[in-house]
């Protein structure tokens, strides 16, 4: 998909922009990578020229990553504690590592989706 999406607001489909952003592609055209480093977007898309350095997602991707991590992990923690006898020290070390890993895995796709949201709206 390399359609140009830099026209009027009606030319900016939200669902497509979110999908492209989640996959780390330019939400406008889907023809190039959105990030040059882990959370640093490219200055401008090499395929369509859309400028990404000027769009600020601020803390919203981190907020979403924490929100999703908490909602996914909490039932697992409760179920593990019901089913197994896991030591306190193991839990004090293990769950924060799992939570941090989940949040780190989600934050770049979520930032791409937030940039897609900002672009589409």
Binding site for Zn ion (CB under 5 A): 26, 28-29, 45, 47-48, 50
Contacts 24+ apart (CB under 8 A), 31-34: 31/1, 31/2, 34/112, 34/115
Closest distance between Zn ion and the C-beta of residue 13, in Å? 14
The two structure tokens encoding residue 2:
């390399």
Closest distance between Zn ion and the C-beta of residue 84, in Å? 48
Nearer to Zn ion, 61 or 116 (CB): 116
Nearer to Zn ion, 26 or 113 (CB): 26
Closest distance between Zn ion and the C-beta of residue 78, in Å? 43
5, 27, 49, 37: which is closest to 107 by C-alpha?
A: 37
Nearer to Zn ion, 27 or 61 (CB): 27
Nearer to Zn ion, 28 or 99 (CB): 28
Closest distance between Zn ion and the C-beta of residue 70, in Å? 33
């Amino acid at each position: 998909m390399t359609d140009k999406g830099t026209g009027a607001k009606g030319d900016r489909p939200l669902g497509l922009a979110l999908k492209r952003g989640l996959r780390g592609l330019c939400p406008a055209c889907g023809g190039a990578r959105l990030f040059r480093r882990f959370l640093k977007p490219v200055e401008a898309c090499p395929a369509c020229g859309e400028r990404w350095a000027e769009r600020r997602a601020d803390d919203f991707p981190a907020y979403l990553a924490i929100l999703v991590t908490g909602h996914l992990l909490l039932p697992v923690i409760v179920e593990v504690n019901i089913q197994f006898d896991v030591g306190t020290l193991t839990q004090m070390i293990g769950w924060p590592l799992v939570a941090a890993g989940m949040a780190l895995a989600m934050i770049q796709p979520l930032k791409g989706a937030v940039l897609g949201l900002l672009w589409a709206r």
